[in-house]
Structure 1
Amino acid sequence: MKESTTYTQGPFRQLDLASRINQARFSSSLSPEAAMLAWMDWLSHLATSPGKKLELLMAGMQNWGRFFNYLQECMTTPLGETRDCVDRPVSDRRFAAPEWQYWPFNALHQGFLLGQEWLAQATTQVWGVEKKHEDFVSFYARQWLDMFSPGNQLLTNPVVLRRTLEERGANLLRGVSNWQDDVRRLVAEESPEGTENFVPGQSVARTPGKVVFRNRLIELIQYTPTTDKVKAEPILIVPAWIMKYYILDLSEHNSMVKYLVDQGHTVFCISWKNPDEGDRHLGMDDYLDLGLGAAIDAVTTIVPKARVHATGYCLGGTLLAIAAARMARDGDDRLASLTFFAAQTDFSEPGELALFINESQISLLEAQMQQKGYLAAEQMAGAFQMLRSYDLLWSKIVNEYLLGERRPLNDLMAWNADATRMPAHMHAQYLRRLFLNNELSRGVYTVGDKPVFVSDIKVPMFAVGTVSDHVAPWRSVYKLNSLADTSEVTFLLTSGGHNAGIVSEPGRPRRSYQVHTHTHGNKALDPDTWQAQTPVTEGSWWPEWQRWLAAHSGAEVAPPSMGAPRKGYDIVCDAPGEYVLQK
C-alpha cells in the first residue's frame, strides 16, 4: 500500500516542500506538470497524425460552409424563424432565451456552437493519446472556450443588452455593487449574503433530538420519535465529513430525517467535527473507529437486540462499505441492511473529478496540507466549480453582475456555503488508496493489516445514483452490482444531481426515478441497458426507499429511550449539537 509521501525528513525535502507550497499558491492548487504532460501528449500525437489533421481541416471547411449557408438563410428568412445549423444539446441552457434567435445574436451563438463542435473533434480520437490525457485536454479546451462564449459578454448577450436598455444601466450598477460585496466577503472570509438566514438549530436542522454521544470526531444525534410505535430496527445515517450533516435535515418540508421519523423509524445521525490543524494525523482508520464504529456501538447499546439499517451518503457511504466489509470479515452481524446515497465503492471510472487526481496533483495537495494540517474548503470548491462551470460560475456572472439579479439563497444553497475541512492524513489516504489505486474494489484495502472485501457483505443493499452527478457519476455508483455478492441489491436512479437529487422530498415537482432489484445468481445488466429497460416512475424516490426499509424491518415496537445513561450514553445537549456550528 502506497501511503502519503513525507516531506519532513531532511533539509532537501524541506526545499521540495517549500517549492510545492509556492507552486500550489500560484497555480490555484492545480498541477502545471500534469497539464503540460497531457497537452504535450495530445499535441505531439496530433503533429504526427496527418490523417487526423486532414480530417480536422475538412471538418473546419465544412463548418464554415454550414455557417455561410446559415448566414445566407438569415438574410432571406423572417427574424426569429431561421433554422439552426447546429443543434443545441437539450441540457445546454446558455442560448435558450428567444432573444438568441434574432440577428446578429443567432449568428454569434451558432458560430460559437460550431467552434465548440470542431474543438471537441480536435481534442478527441487522436491516435496514441492516453485516455486520461485526452479527457484532460478535452475538458480544459471546453473551459477555455467557455470564456469566450457570447452569452458571457455584455455586448454579445441580447438578454443583458435588452435589460440594460430597459433599466438605463441600473442593472449594471447593481452588478458592480454585487461584485464589490462578493470581493469584500471573499477577502474577509465571510459567508455569502443570505447565509445568516439559515442557522442550524434555528431555521435549518430543527428536527427535535438529543446528542447522546460525543468524542473528538463525532457527535451522535438521536431524534425524538413522533409515532407511538416504531420499526424495530433503527436507522443510522453516515454523512460525508466533506459536508455538514444537515443536508439531510434542512427545512421542515424537505428534511429526510423528519420524513423518516414521521414514518415510524428511530433515526440516529452522525455529525462530524470540522477538523483543524490539531487533527492533521487523523486517518481513515480513525474515521472508521472513532466515527462509524463508535456510532454503531452507541446505537446498538441504546437500541439493544436490534440490528441497524446503516445509510451512507457520498464519502460516508464509501466509509460505510469499508466498515460493513470489516464487520462481515470479523463475524459482526449488527447490520440489518445497507443504503448508499451517491456513494462509490469502485473508483475505476470516477468521472471528470479524476482529472484533478493524479500523482502530480496529489503532491501539491499534500504539500499544502503538510503546512496547514488540513485541506481547506475553498481548495475543494475550485475543482467542483470547474466541473459545473456554467451553473456555478458563468451563470452567476451573467445573472448577478450583468443582469444585476442577486438570487436569494435557499436552504440547500446556504448549506452548500457552510463548508468543512478535511484532515491532511485522512485525505491523502483517501485520494491514494481509493481514487488513485482503487484498493477497495480490487480487494487489497486493508483494515487492521487484513484486507476487506465488499463481496463478504451479505445483508440487503439499496444504492441511489443521480442522473447528473458530477461527484459520484451514477454509472460508477452502479458498479456496486458487480462487487456485491449478497441476496439482493436494489439500484435506484433519480433525477437531479449529487445534492438536489438526494434532497428530493415528496411533492417536489419535476422529479422521477427508475428502480430495479438485482437478486443473487442473476447477472447484472450493464448500466446503459439497465437504464433503457427500467421503467420511469414520476415523483420522489423517498417513499420507494421507505417501503424497502419497512419490508426489511421487523414488527413495530415502543420507541427506545433517548440515550442510555446507565450504559454510558448520557444526553449531552439538544440537537443539532455543537460540532455542526463549528466554522
Structure 2
Amino acid sequence: MPDTLTPTLPRLEDLQHWTWVLGRAQQMMLEHGLDLMEHVPAAPPFGMLLDPTPAMRASADFWADTMQLWQRFLDPANAEPFVESPEQARDRRFKAPQWREEPIFDFLRQSYFVIADHLLKNVEALEHVDGRQKDQIRFATQGFIDAISPTNFPATNPQVIEKIVETKGESLLKGLQHMLQDMAKGQMTQTAAGAFELGRNLAMTPGKVIKRTPLYELIQYSPTTDEVLETPLIIFPPWINRFYILDLTPEKSFIRWAVEQGITVFVVSWRSADASMKDVVWDDYVERGQIDAIDTVRDLLGVESVHTIGYCVAGTTLAATLAVLAARDQAAKVASATFFTAQVDFTEAGDLRVFIDDDQLAMIRSLSADGFLDGRYMAATFNLLRGRDLIWNYVTNNYLMGQEYAPFDLLHWNSDVTNLPASWHLSYLTDLYRDNKLIAPGALRIGGTPVDLSKVTTPSYIQAGREDHIAPAKSVWKLTEYFRGPHKFVLAGSGHIAGVINPPSAKKYQYWTNQGPAESLESFLEKATEHAGSWWPDWLDWLRAVSGAKVAANGARVPGGGNLCAVAEAPGDYVKMR
C-alpha cells in the first residue's frame, strides 16, 4: 500500500504561480528603480529626495543579486553558493531542513532574503529625509517584510504542507478554530488557556494588601528572615502591565528573591482603568500614587526613608517624583532609586516613537470615548514592535499548522492587558514622547511644583537591556546625564523583560559594569567588565552599601502587624480586574 503520510511537494501549478509571484516582485523592484530615474522632478525638495544616483546603484545591485539567484536555481552546479548573513542563518523561521534540502523551498527562502535585503537597503538609501520619517519608513518596511515571508502562507511553507498531509486536513480546521476564537475575543492568543492562575502558580509570594485606594493597592510581603534591612523597598511597576511580571513562577520571581535576601518589600498594584478614571492624569500617579505610597510605608514602619524601584514608565514617573520631592525639600524620603529600563529623554526612544504622530494620537482619542483606552490596543502595539516573534510566529504555528499553545508564564502576563486612563495616556505620549518636556527644567509641573531633573541627588542604580527595543540602552543611559547624585549604570544582556527577569539560579545572560567615568554608553562599554549571569546580586550589594542597617523582622514588618490591617491576601483584587 502507498504511504499516505509521505509529504508531497506542491502541485506544479502552485510552484509556477509562486515562482511567477517572486519573479514579478523582483521585476517590480527593478522597474521602480528605473521609474525613479526617469521621473525625478528637477526642483527640490523631491528632486533631492529621489536622487537617481542611489536608485541606479540599488537597481544595479538588485539586478546582479537576482541574476545570481536564478542561476543558482536553474544551474546550481555552476553557480556561486548563496552566502547567508549571520542574521539570516539564525532566522528560526527557516530552521526546518526542507528550506535548504528541497530546491523549490531553498529558492523561495533565498528569493525572500534577496527581496527583503534590498527593500531595507532602499530605505537606508533615502536622502534628505529626517530621522523620524526614516524610522517610520524603516519600521513599516520591516513589518511588510515580516508579513510576506513564505513561512506565513500554506502553499509556500513545507512544514505546513506536511502537516496538512499528515493530519488529512485536520490541522487546517484546528488552525481555523484558533483564529476564529481570537477574532471573537479581539486579541491574539500566545499561551495555553488555563495553564496559569494568579495565586496558584503565578504571583505566589506570601503577603497581604494593606491599603487600597481608587488608584492602587499596596501589597506588603511576609518576611522569611529573622532580620531585614531597616530601610524598606517599594516597587513601582508600570501601570501599562500587571505587577506580577516581578512575581512570576517562584523560581523567576524578583519579589520572592528580594524577600529572601532580607528586604521588607512593598509593591504597588495599579488599578486597571475604567470610566471612573477618565480624569486621572500623570500628576495623580506621582502625588496620589508614588508619593502617597512612600509616605504610607514611612509612617507604617516609622522610618526616615525608603528604597524605591521604578520599572519602565513607572521609572520615568519615579524620576519626576524625585524631582518634585527635591523641589519641596523632601528628597530625604527616598534613600535610593533603582530604574529598570526607564527613560527620561525620549530623543532616541526606540521603535515605539514611530507610533507617535498626529494621526496616531487622533486615533487614540477616537478609541477612548469612555475615558479609558482598552488595553488590547496597547498589547497589539507592543506585539507589532516584535511582529515576527509575537504575531507571525503564532499565525504560522497555531493558525496554519493548528498546533496547540504551549504554556508560558511570561506570555500569559504579556496577554493580561490593562486599560489606561485616556487623559494620562495622551498627555504622556505628547508631553514626553513627542515633545520631550521632561528634560526641560520647569516645562512640566506636578501639583504646581516645577519638574527639574537636575535637582535630583538621590543615589541611583540604572539598569538597561542590551537588546531592548522599547527602552533602548542608549536612551536609558541618558538618565545619567540629568541626575546630579551618585549613580551606577549596569547593562544587562537580553531585552526589556528577560534582561530584568533574570534570577541568579537561571545562570543566563550576562551584565556589564564600569567603575570609571564614562560620558556615553559607547565609552562605558569600551572599558566595561563583563560578568556572567544575573545582575541581581550586584544590585543587592549596591543597595546594602547605601544603607545596610538591620532590624528584627517583627511588628509592623509583618503584614497586618502594624497600624494598617490586612485588606486582602496577595496578589490582591486590582491585579484581577479586566
Checking the alignment, whether the CA contact within 8 Å between 1:46 and 1:52 is kept in structure 2 is no
Correspondence 1:137 to 2:137:
yes
Q: 1:441 to 1:92 in 2, by over 3 A?
A: farther
- Structure 2 counterpart of 1:575: 570
Correspondence 1:262 to 2:251:
no
Q: What pairs up with 1:316-465 in 2 under 5 angstroms?
A: 316-332=314-330, 333-369=332-368, 371-443=369-441, 444-465=443-464
1:44 deviation in Å?
A: 4.1
Identity in percent: 33
AA aligned opposite 2:344: T
Q: C-alpha deviations, 1:315-338, integer Å up to 9, x for none?
A: 111111100111112211111111
- Structure 2 counterpart of 1:37: none
Q: C-alpha deviations, 1:274-305, integer Å up to 9, x for none?
A: 11011100111111111111100111112223
Correspondence 1:482 to 2:478:
no
Correspondence 1:530 to 2:547:
no
AA aligned opposite 2:272: N
Bigger shift: 264-273 or 376-385? 376-385
Checking the alignment, whether the CA contact within 8 Å between 1:66 and 1:85 is kept in structure 2 is no
Q: 1:45 to 1:222 in 2, by over 3 A?
A: farther
Checking the alignment, whether the CA contact within 8 Å between 2:220 and 2:559 is kept in structure 1 is no
Q: C-alpha deviations, 1:318-377, integer Å up to 9, x for none?
A: 1111001111122111111110111111111111110000223212212332x1211111
Q: 1:367 to 1:139 in 2, by over 3 A?
A: same
The equivalent position to 1:540 in structure 2, one of 526, 529, 534, is 534
Checking the alignment, whether the CA contact within 8 Å between 2:556 and 2:563 is kept in structure 1 is no
CA distance in 1 between partners of 2:162 and 2:337 (Å): 53
Checking the alignment, whether the CA contact within 8 Å between 1:185 and 1:191 is kept in structure 2 is no
- Structure 2 counterpart of 1:311: 309
CA distance in 1 between partners of 2:144 and 2:248 (Å): 36
Q: 1:304 to 1:167 in 2, by over 3 A?
A: same
1:91 deviation in Å?
A: 5.4
CA distance in 1 between partners of 2:95 and 2:560 (Å): 60
Q: 1:567 to 1:429 in 2, by over 3 A?
A: farther
**Paired residue secondary structure (2:405):** coil
The equivalent position to 2:240 in structure 1, one of 239, 242, 248, is 242
Bigger shift: 147-156 or 323-332? 147-156
CA distance in 1 between partners of 2:45 and 2:405 (Å): 42
CA distance in 2 between partners of 1:394 and 1:285 (Å): 38
CA distance in 1 between partners of 2:78 and 2:173 (Å): 39
CA distance in 1 between partners of 2:256 and 2:562 (Å): 27
Checking the alignment, whether the CA contact within 8 Å between 1:491 and 1:517 is kept in structure 2 is no
- Structure 2 counterpart of 1:13: none
Unaligned stretches of 5+ residues in structure 1: 1-39
Checking the alignment, whether the CA contact within 8 Å between 2:196 and 2:412 is kept in structure 1 is yes
AA aligned opposite 1:540: S
Q: What pairs up with 1:480-519 in 2 under 5 angstroms?
A: 480-487=479-486, 489-517=487-515
AA aligned opposite 1:70: R
Q: C-alpha deviations, 1:548-580, integer Å up to 9, x for none?
A: 212222221112515798986332222112111
1:86 deviation in Å?
A: 4.1
Q: 1:185 to 1:322 in 2, by over 3 A?
A: same
1:404 deviation in Å?
A: 2.4
- Structure 1 counterpart of 2:9: none
1:517 deviation in Å?
A: 4.2
AA aligned opposite 2:531: T
1:378 deviation in Å?
A: 1.4
- Structure 1 counterpart of 2:67: 65
1:67 deviation in Å?
A: 1.9
Q: C-alpha deviations, 1:379-435, integer Å up to 9, x for none?
A: 112221221111011111111122322232222111111110111111111111111
Q: 1:47 to 1:462 in 2, by over 3 A?
A: closer
AA aligned opposite 1:582: M
CA distance in 1 between partners of 2:478 and 2:566 (Å): 40
Q: C-alpha deviations, 1:438-491, integer Å up to 9, x for none?
A: 11122222223342222211122111111222221121111112122212x212
1:195 deviation in Å?
A: 4.2
CA distance in 2 between partners of 1:105 and 1:62 (Å): 21
Q: 1:178 to 1:289 in 2, by over 3 A?
A: same
Checking the alignment, whether the CA contact within 8 Å between 2:190 and 2:411 is kept in structure 1 is no
The equivalent position to 1:53 in structure 2, one of 52, 55, 62, is 55
Q: 1:355 to 1:192 in 2, by over 3 A?
A: closer
Bigger shift: 319-328 or 172-181? 172-181
Normalized against structure 2, the TM-score is what?
0.86
1:526 deviation in Å?
A: 2.3
**Paired residue secondary structure (2:418):** coil
- Structure 2 counterpart of 1:26: none
The equivalent position to 1:561 in structure 2, one of 547, 556, 561, is 556
Q: C-alpha deviations, 1:117-146, integer Å up to 9, x for none?
A: 111121223222122111111221222232
Q: 1:201 to 1:564 in 2, by over 3 A?
A: closer
Checking the alignment, whether the CA contact within 8 Å between 1:512 and 1:536 is kept in structure 2 is yes
CA distance in 2 between partners of 1:43 and 1:142 (Å): 26
1:104 deviation in Å?
A: 2.0
AA aligned opposite 2:367: Q
AA aligned opposite 2:57: E
